[in-house]
Amino acid sequence: MRIFGITLLSSLAILTSGSGLAQEASDVPRERETRYVTDLIFTPIRTGPGGDYRIINKGLPSGTEVNFFGTTEDGVWAEVETRGGTRGYLRAQYLQKDIPRANQLNAVEAELAASQERVATIQQNLDEAMEQLSSSDSDMSSTAVALAETRAELAEIKRISANAIQLDQLTKQLTGKLEDASARNDLLKLENARLEDRVANKQRLEGVLSLLAGIAVALLIPRLTIKRRRNDGWR
């Protein structure tokens, strides 16, 4: 019985001290900061700074962003608030200032996916330009070679970008390649417009020549007819 009484008194003392810390932490206003649940952790939120307090959130997964208001005096428990408005305490060791690696990787993968979509769009435009070049003048042969090289470079970037370890470096390289491909595509559009102007000018010139030829024929036929009549009358 004596041991049970000592244990009971110890438990009451722990609860009393924990309640005092919670009251002290709640009374002092604190500025809000952003923290993240660390990697490979699924930690609960409690109503107070201690393992005996009631759990109000069964567990936050790794990478969850929370509002951080500070820690208890012993630095063991941290007061936080979720984006959904749940406010309580969890162990401070499960929080970090930096974005977890998993979140960073997801962000880089999303950016890479968007970059790959842009590459696919540019490659489609390049393929269409190649089809147009196949029926263009022989002066476009050098531009077609440049386009083929660009498409090969884009294909190589897409193949290498499948390696998640090189996502950061490839994103920067991909941006430069996309800008270069866009510039070459603009050059192709200008060259195609120049060729279309040449064809249009040639067609207009042929039309003018045909019109002049028709006028000349129309002027010569009456003269030939009059001359023939005069010759027939003279005989």
Is residue 230 domain-resident?
A: no
pLDDT at 102: 63
Domain with 149, as residue range(s), is: 101-200
Residues 27 and 92 in one domain: yes
Rounded CA separation 40/71 (Å): 22
Residues 88 and 165 in one domain: no
Question: Is it the case that residue 176 has pLDDT exceeding 80?
Answer: yes
As a whole number, mean pLDDT of residues 42-57 equals 89
As a whole number, mean pLDDT of residues 98-102 equals 74
> Who has greater pLDDT, 157 or 45?
45
> Who has greater pLDDT, 29 or 215?
215
- Given pLDDT bands bounded at 50, 70 and 90, which one contains residue 172? confident
Integer distance in angstroms from the first to the last C-alpha of the chain? 160
Task: Give the HSE-up count for residue 149: Cα atoms under 13 Å, Cβ half-sphere.
Answer: 8
The bridge status of strand 95-96 relative to strand 87-91 is: unpaired
At residue 80, what are phi and psi to the nearest 5 degrees? -135, 170
Is residue 212 domain-resident?
A: no
pLDDT at 163: 64
As a whole number, mean pLDDT of residues 207-222 equals 83
Residues 153 and 64 in one domain: no
pLDDT at 230: 60
Q: Into how many domains does the chain fold?
A: 2
5 CB burial (10 A radius; 0-12, 13-18, 19+): exposed
Is residue 219 domain-resident?
A: no
pLDDT of 137-155, one tens digit each?
666 667 777 888 888 888 8
Residues 80 and 142 in one domain: no
Residues 9 and 85 in one domain: yes
Last-in-domain residue among 96, 118, 140: 96
Residues 51 and 88 in one domain: yes
DSSP H/E element including 78: strand 77-82
Question: Is it the case that residue 1 has pLDDT exceeding 50?
Answer: no
Rounded CA separation 112/168 (Å): 9
Lowest mean pLDDT among 30-34, 97-101, 168-172, 226-230: 226-230
- Given pLDDT bands bounded at 50, 70 and 90, which one contains residue 220? confident
Is residue 119 domain-resident?
A: yes
pLDDT at 2: 35
Question: Is it the case that residue 75 has pLDDT exceeding 90?
Answer: yes
Residues 142 and 85 in one domain: no
Residues 48 and 117 in one domain: no
